[in-house]
Structures are given as structure tokens and as C-alpha cells.
Amino acid sequence: MSREQLDGENHGYHGGRLESDAQMELIKHNEYIKSIIPADQLLVYEMGEGWERLANFLGAAVPDQPFPRLNDTASFQERLTKEVPSAFS
């Protein structure tokens, strides 16, 4: 999808407000989604909650391994150090 298409979709769906008030648009979008999807079919999941709620919602067993934390601060800094060695020198 081109930048022009994205800009056009942003303007149509968000009335052009996404760049000026992204946080409010995200909140409004989330509230809209919650209003149209039955609560028993929608999981509003906060990162960091772990496996239990997610597995229960999906009707799956809770995995025996730790929940992946690939985007926490330490992991991010480790990846950045490897990809851009001068970032932390």
C-alpha cells in the first residue's frame, strides 16, 4: 500500500485526525470495536499479562514456557547494541 493510499484511508476513517491526535483516535477506535463485538468474543489484552487470560480465551492450555518478552527494554537495548554498535558506546 502506498503512502498516498494510507493517507487517504487515514483521512477517510479518522477524518485526518490521526496525526494530530493519535492517542484519542486510538481510544475512540478501541471503544468502537468494543461496542460492535460481543464481549465473549473479544479479548482486550494488555501486554505483560502473561499466558493465562490469553490461553483461557483461546480455549488452549497454558504453555509451560515463560511468556515471550521480545520488546522489553533489556531485549530492545540488546538488539540495538547488536544492530547499531555505536548506539551505546
Task: Look at residue 76 and tell me whether its pLDDT is greater than 90.
Answer: no
Specify the pTM: 0.55
> What average pLDDT does range 46-70 have in this prediction?
91
| pLDDT score at 52 | 95
pLDDT per residue over 8-42, tens digit each? 554 556 566 666 677 888 888 899 999 999 999 99
How many CB atoms are closer than 10 A to CB 58? Answer: 9
Task: Look at residue 75 and tell me whether its pLDDT is greater than 90.
Answer: no
Residue 44 CA to residue 32 CA, distance in Å, equals: 13
11 touches 20 (CB < 8 A)? no
The residue assigned the cell 503512502 is: 3
**Within a 13 Å sphere around the CA of 23, how many CA atoms are in the beta-carbon half?**
0
| pLDDT score at 20 | 67
Share of the chain above pLDDT 70, in %: 72
How is the chain split into domains, by residue range? 1-37, 43-89
Q: Which long-range contacts (CB under 8 A, 24 or more apart) does 60-68 make?
A: none
